[in-house]
Amino acid sequence: MAELAALEDPKARAVNERHGDDHGVNLSKLRAIAKRLKTRQELARELWRTGDTAARLLALLICRPKAFERDELDAMLREARTPKVQDWLVNYVVKKNPHAEELRVAWFADSDPVVASAGWALTTERVAKKPDGLDLPALLDAIESEMKDAPDRLQWAMNHCLAQIGIEHAEYRTRAIAIGERLEVLKDYPTSPGCTSPFAPVWIDEMVRRQGGK
């Protein structure tokens, strides 16, 4: 904790806080600490229990993803709250855990929009890698009816799922693009030069183009 405190940068904190993340540690330096520590499951649990965002991010880098129980991960997600911690928890830990599918189903239907956004993120992963068993038309129905008025993090996750359906599944591409154009979610999102807009119709078209129009 002392080492993390010494890395605190007020400028980095100011930037991160604009995105809802309350830490000021450069992530490259955080990853360097994790590389030195290697896998330390019990230390990871201790770091998580501090409640400190930088400590939790480090915990997620040095933990053993398959070692967590289902209820433990559920509690961690509900405690996470800051976007970066939630994002790393889902992508670095939950996706590699044997309870991932069970958690995806439970979180997807949760009344807390932050928890639900994690369910949508896991669903997006399945849309891309293991779509068998998913009801893609039903996902599009839900996106069409709920995404426009969803809270920010849930809206972002639903939009990612919409784009992924359009990118990966040619038979639903026209409908996915039409939904995006009608709802106009993230249409005016500021995008840096050389980056792809998160507006689903643009995102879908660009990724399909890169894949050779498949």
Candidates 104, 180, 114, 107; CA nearest to 144 is 180
Q: Is the pLDDT of residue 213 over 80?
A: no
Contact 97, 68 (CB under 8 A): yes
Distance, in Å, from the CA atom of 16 to the CA atom of 22, rounded to the nearest integer, reads 6
pLDDT digits (tens, 9 = 90+) for 7-63: 999 998 898 888 888 999 999 999 999 999 999 999 999 999 999 999 999 999 999
Confidence of residue 196 (pLDDT cuts 50, 70, 90): very high
pLDDT at 19: 84
Return the percentage of the chain with pLDDT > 90, whole number: 90
Place of tokens 């990853």: 31
Q: Report the SS3 class of residue 74.
A: helix
Task: Report which secondary-structure segment, H or E, holds 144.
Answer: helix 136-146
- Confirm if 7 and 53 have CB atoms less than 8 A apart: no
Q: If you average pLDDT over residues 135-162, what whole number do you get?
A: 98
Counting residues of the chain whose pLDDT is more than 70, the rounded percentage is 99
